[in-house]
Chain A
Amino acid sequence: MMPISQPSASRDPLLKVENLVVEYAVGGKTIHAVSDVSLQVARGETLGLVGESGCGKSTLGRAVLQLRRAVSGRVLFDGQDLTAMQGDTLRQMRRRVQLIFQDPIASLNPRRRIGDIIAEPLVISGIKDPKKREQLVRDVLSAVGLDPGLVVGRLPHEFSGGQCQRICIARALVLNPEFIICDEPVSALDVSIRAQILNLLEEMKARYGLTLLFIAHDLAVVKAVSDRVAVMYLGRLCEVGPSEQLFAHPAHPYTALLIEAIPVPDPDVRPAESVAVGEPPSPMSPPSGCRFRTRCPKADRRCSDEVPELRAVAPDQFVACHHPLIAAA
């Protein structure tokens, strides 16, 4: 299959993922974690990536950073193919791409002081002057809303989950990266703290001129921060489109199902008797054709015979479905 061109992103793509395939071998079987996924993220854009557990969204994020090597496909960052890079060249590229994880407490070394944790990327990247490092650490801590004087000498366990996530964000920002992959950055946090961190990410994006890949399972959270949203199901891309368009007019039955399943905090909105049937099949033996067909109300013969290809249904909106909810453009 030819790489899909996605016009809105093709203006100036900072990241291009082309026909990426990632598989894991588990006990003689193969888990098809990411199957033939193509994506683009334009400079300065936030692309939201949503899907349920096991859909391959985190694997995709890790494969972009080459923390998980792809079976096939390419990952082009600023025009250079990361999949072809090794050793030092790759390490140099990784300074420009950072990762923020779901569990902020687990991703900080419990025995190291916050100041050292944040300075570590600077040490690795060869900034030798301790004064300079200290200044950069202080600057970035202030930027994420922490008081450097109170923070640098303390250990991670002295901080709450929300503060630890601020520290993780500071660590990701200290090298002044261009691109950050946020993997479920707020799902371990309480509602009141979640809003603080989402706002902080938006603020940091503007201040540092970042491009974000925002991976999450919560559609409302994704919509709050994303310019475009990509929906994954069982390793494949179902739909990509501008946030507003995708939420107002979902084209893939799975996208529609996800939107419908969100509990709305309004007592007048009676939850519709759930239309979701069954559960996602195993990624070890995904269904033939369209992988969503076993749960799809519109599935027919063609869906089991033929893998649907991503095609345009509206400007910038692409869907991989034989029976999209909006007619093809």
Chain B
Amino acid sequence: MTEPALLSVEGVSVDLPTPRGNLRAVDQVDLRVGAGRTLGVVGESGCGKTMLSRAILQLLPRKARLSGRVMFEGQDLVGLDPERLRKLRGRSLAVVFQDPMTSLNPVLTIGTQLIETLQEHLELDGNAAKRRSAELLAAVGIPAPEQRLTQYPHQLSGGMRQRVAIAIALSCEPKLLIADEPTTALDVTIQAQILDLLAREQRRRHMAMILITHDLGVVAGRTDEVAVMYAGRVVERAPTPALFKKMRMPYTEALLAAIPKIDAAPHTLLPAISGRPPDPTRPIWGCAFSPRCRYAASQCHREKPSLAAAESLHHQYACFHPIEVAAGASP
């Protein structure tokens, strides 16, 4: 990659002290996102995807220990002065969370929350901020935006609340938007609308986006690159078409196979992944996926595979026994 990355996550690890011992939530993760690009981060519950997004935003729980560097526009966010961080977050670095009911303040009107953000970061006066707020609500597809400004979050549906959260995130024209499971709480027809909205606004604003999800279906048509996480580590990273067509990591293959296909006949047995993810408070010897992997050999249980390059530098996987492309690829 020759262009300088907008965001570059370098060797980031997050440790959380728990009563049962140290929990390594994120383990030595490297990621890059170029300006205007979309990175999908996919993994199951507890794989560390949300902790990774919080590490980027420097919004980790107080007791968490973070190591590594988070370079955003050339400066390291780790250890950055809180005042400068606060200015950055919301301005160039915005986030949309899974549950819009908890990310919006229930006792403030939609208008107050939007206007506050605009006045804080863009130093607009009251009238200009109000006008801009209504425009933003209209842009995210909220009917009767002027009236919505006076409403409270509980008066809106889940889909509308998520639109408001997106409007707030977009309000200061951020360079990077982190969308953490933005549609998981929503119904399928509303999910499609929200994903379309994010894609449209991203194109229009030439904004970079990290789309965090558990659903491979969500990232397939809507990202440039995908990183698959398992037990705190990135286990495969590839341009989206390569990840789906020429995956090398057995976990990626298994995850994709376990999704019921809409074009499969009813009562088709699903190739399930046996067992479950490892306990992150216990030390893991070897590859974390090896106990569930059908290709695992003795080396896999002893040694931790590091990320290796596949045919291009953009495609990396952590596996001693990667899937043969010729056998696994479908044209």
Q: Show the binding face of A for B, using Cβ within 8 Å.
A: 52-53, 160, 162-163, 190-196, 198-199, 202, 217-221, 223-227, 243-244, 247, 257-271, 273-274, 276, 279
Contact = CB atoms under 8 A, between A and B. Distances in A.
Contact of A217 (B188, B222, B267): B188
Given A224-B268, A243-B266, A279-B157, A192 B44 contact: yes
B159 interface: yes
Contact of A192 (B193, B220, B258, B265): B258
A52 B158 CA distance: 12
A224 B266 contact: yes
What 8 pairs between A and B have smallest CB-CB spacing? Answer: A263-B217, A195-B272, A224-B260, A52-B187, A192-B273, A274-B192, A195-B258, A195-B270
B258 A226 contact: no
B271 A53 contact: no
Contacts of A269: 220-221
A263 B191 contact: yes
A202 B260 CA distance: 14
Interface string B44-85: 110000000000000000000000000000000000000000
Given A223-B260, A264-B221, A267-B244, A196 B196 contact: no
- Of B216, B218, B256, B272, most buried by chain A (CB within 10 Å of CB) is B272
Given A162-B276, A202-B269, A219-B262, 9 more contacts: A196-B272, A198-B260, A199-B270, A218-B188, A261-B191, A261-B192, A262-B188, A263-B195, A263-B221
Interface of B: 44-45, 157, 159-160, 187-193, 195-196, 214-218, 220-222, 240-241, 243-245, 254-256, 258-274, 276, 292
B200 to A, nearest CB: 9
A225 B269 contact: no
Contacts of B256: 265
B276 A274 contact: no
Contacts of A243: 266
Contacts of B254: 192
B255 A279 contact: no
A198 to B, nearest CB: 6
Nearest to B268: A224
- Of B45, B188, B221, B264, most buried by chain A (CB within 10 Å of CB) is B188
B154 to A, nearest CB: 14
B291 to A, nearest CB: 13
A191 B267 contact: no
Contacts of B160: 279
B192 A191 contact: no
A196 B274 contact: yes
B218 to A, nearest CB: 5
Given A193-B276, A267-B244, A271-B192, A220 B222 contact: no
5 contacts: A195-B259, A220-B261, A263-B215, A266-B244, A274-B192
B203 to A, nearest CB: 12
Contacts of A261: 188-189, 191-192
Contacts of A219: 188, 262
Nearest to A263: B217
Nearest to A260: B192
A221 B261 CA distance: 8
Nearest to B254: A192
A53 B276 contact: no
B283 to A, nearest CB: 20
